[in-house]
Each structure stands twice: as structure tokens, then as C-alpha cells.
Amino acid sequence: MANTSSAKKMVRKIERRTAVNKARRSRVRTFLRKVEEAITSGDKAAAETAFKNAQPELHRAVSKGIFHSKTVARKLSRLSSRIKSLAA
């Protein structure tokens, strides 16, 4: 348990930041899930549009410190290659 007033304030700040980060992470996962669903359904056009919508969200998560930049680059690369391998 926090003893000093500054430690108590940090606990409050961390709780607020955690809630915001949790919402951002959830939002990114939703966009990724939409891409995954489009890929599994085999719809290349839907997968490409979902991928284009997911890209800025993932990059925004990097700028906010939710994900590491190389993690996002790896995810985007793998999704992109899976979309390219779909039959047109």
C-alpha cells in the first residue's frame, strides 16, 4: 500500500493510464480480428479493406506506447503476405 501522498497520486495516475491503454489495446485487437475473419472467409477485397483500416490503428498504438514498433511491423507483414496469398 502506498504511504506517501506522491505514491498515492501515482497509483491513481497508473489506474487511469491502465484503463486508457486497455481500451486502446482492445480497439487494436478488434481491427485485427476483422482482418483475420476476412482472411478466413476467403474474401480478398474485404480483407484488403480491413487491413487498410487496421494499419493506422496499429501505428497509432505504436505512437502511444501500446505495442513495440517491430511487433507491429511483424504483424502487418504477416497479415499482408496472407492477404496476398488469397485467391483473387
Taking the model in full, what pTM does it have? 0.84
Domain boundaries, the chain: 5-85
Q: What local confidence, expressed as pLDDT, does residue 87 receive?
A: 74
Long-range contact pairs involving 62-71 (C-beta distance under 8 Å, separation at least 24)? 64/21, 64/24, 65/21, 66/21, 66/24, 66/25, 66/28, 67/28
Q: How does pLDDT run across 11-65, given as a tens digit for each residue?
A: 999 999 999 999 999 999 999 999 999 999 999 999 999 999 999 999 999 999 9
Residue 32 contacts residue 54 (beta carbons within 8 Å): yes
Fold type of domain 5-85: Methane Monooxygenase Hydroxylase; Chain G, domain 1 (1.20.58)
pLDDT band at 88 (very low <50, low <70, confident <90, very high): low
* Amino acid (one-letter) located at 42: G
* Amino acid (one-letter) located at 81: S
Residues 6 or more apart in contact with residue 87 via CB below 8 angstroms: 42, 44
Q: What local confidence, expressed as pLDDT, does residue 18 receive?
A: 96
